[in-house]
Copies of this chain bind each other. A is one copy, B any other.
Amino acid sequence: MTNRQKPRILVCNDDGIDAEGLHVLSASMKKIGSVTVVAPSEPRSGMGHAMTLGVPLRVKKYSRNSRFFGYTVSGTPVDCIKVALSHILPEKPDIIVSGINYGSNTATNTLYSGTVGAALEGVIQRIPSIAFSITTYENADFTYAGKFARKLVRKALREGLPPDTVLSVNIPNISEEEIRGVRITAQGKSRWAENTIERDDMYGNPYYWLSGELQLLDDDILYDEYAVRENYISVTPVSIDMTNHGAIKNIRRWKLNK
């Protein structure tokens, strides 16, 4: 990015092109950069790092109220990034922002999240990327989230992000006055207590809905889920390197060559 021009910002999400969080994030980014929106044509929550293989993707122009313009991709959040970088954007963006997602992407949700997935794909393609979520599925007040996103993106463009690392940001759904500050956290160990529901259809055959509840397994503000429950904004550096480096020595002792 040269000083002469505004930063080029690619905006994506996993809740789809109609989601309010996407529009808030796009509007916020327009105040500091040149924005292109590429988002799934439909909600694609829980898609993690899924990509579409064996099915062609469609791209459509999208506009709303003659004020909001973007592109939809008939696939996953990761697909959106791949198609945006290869066929929609004339130049590499300076940064990718994903969200603002409905529902925390803390703890093990990091793995399920399509919002984080899109940002990780950006980093795989060597573009600084940040994922934003708000801690509610309904009645979100995005006012401060949009403002904080802008502050963080400015900072990230100035400081640069660590290599191969996304920032996953989780913002409590409360007013600016109630937010106690920002914590740089680790991904927590909280995970879903499964409660998959079995029901019978009209023929008496069973079907299953995945369901459950996130169990808090962290007891320190050093972890993302705990921090947001304590009314802090949580910023977690998330790596595309999933190696448990500490375990390598341990497994070597198994002497698998014998």
A interface, CB within 8 angstroms of B: 43, 45-54, 56-59, 76, 78-79, 82-83, 85-87, 108, 110-112, 114, 117, 120, 124-125, 151-152, 155, 159, 162, 164-165, 167, 181-182, 184-187, 189, 191-192, 194-196, 198-199, 205-210, 233, 235-248, 250-252, 254, 256-257
A112 contact set on B, CB distance < 8 A: 49-51, 78
Do B56 and A51 touch across chains, with their CB atoms under 8 A apart?
no
* A112, A186, A192, A208, most chain B CB atoms within 10 A: A208
* A210, A245, A252, most chain B CB atoms within 10 A: A210
Chain B residue nearest to A108 in the complex (CB):
B124
Do B245 and A210 touch across chains, with their CB atoms under 8 A apart?
no
Bound Cα distance from A233 to B194, whole angstroms: 35
Bound Cα distance from A235 to B249, whole angstroms: 12
Nearest Cβ on chain B to A16's Cβ, whole angstroms? 12
A152 in complex: contacting residue of B43, B111, B181, B256, CB < 8 Å: B256
Do B242 and A238 touch across chains, with their CB atoms under 8 A apart?
yes
Do B59 and A208 touch across chains, with their CB atoms under 8 A apart?
yes
Bound Cα distance from A196 to B192, whole angstroms: 36
Do A59 and B237 touch across chains, with their CB atoms under 8 A apart?
no
Do B59 and A50 touch across chains, with their CB atoms under 8 A apart?
no
Do B237 and A247 touch across chains, with their CB atoms under 8 A apart?
yes
Nearest Cβ on chain B to A114's Cβ, whole angstroms? 8
Do B53 and A45 touch across chains, with their CB atoms under 8 A apart?
yes
Do B235 and A239 touch across chains, with their CB atoms under 8 A apart?
no
Do A117 and B237 touch across chains, with their CB atoms under 8 A apart?
no
* CB-CB under 8 A for A83 and B196, given A209-B56, A235-B256: yes
* CB-CB under 8 A for A235 and B210, given A48-B48, A152-B256: no
A244 in complex: contacting residue of B53, B59, B82, B238, CB < 8 Å: B238
Do A243 and B251 touch across chains, with their CB atoms under 8 A apart?
no
Bound Cα distance from A57 to B201, whole angstroms: 12
Chain B residue nearest to A205 in the complex (CB):
B58
A57 contact set on B, CB distance < 8 A: 207-210
* CB-CB under 8 A for A155 and B254, given A48-B48, A210-B51: yes
* CB-CB under 8 A for A256 and B210, given A235-B251, A243-B239: no
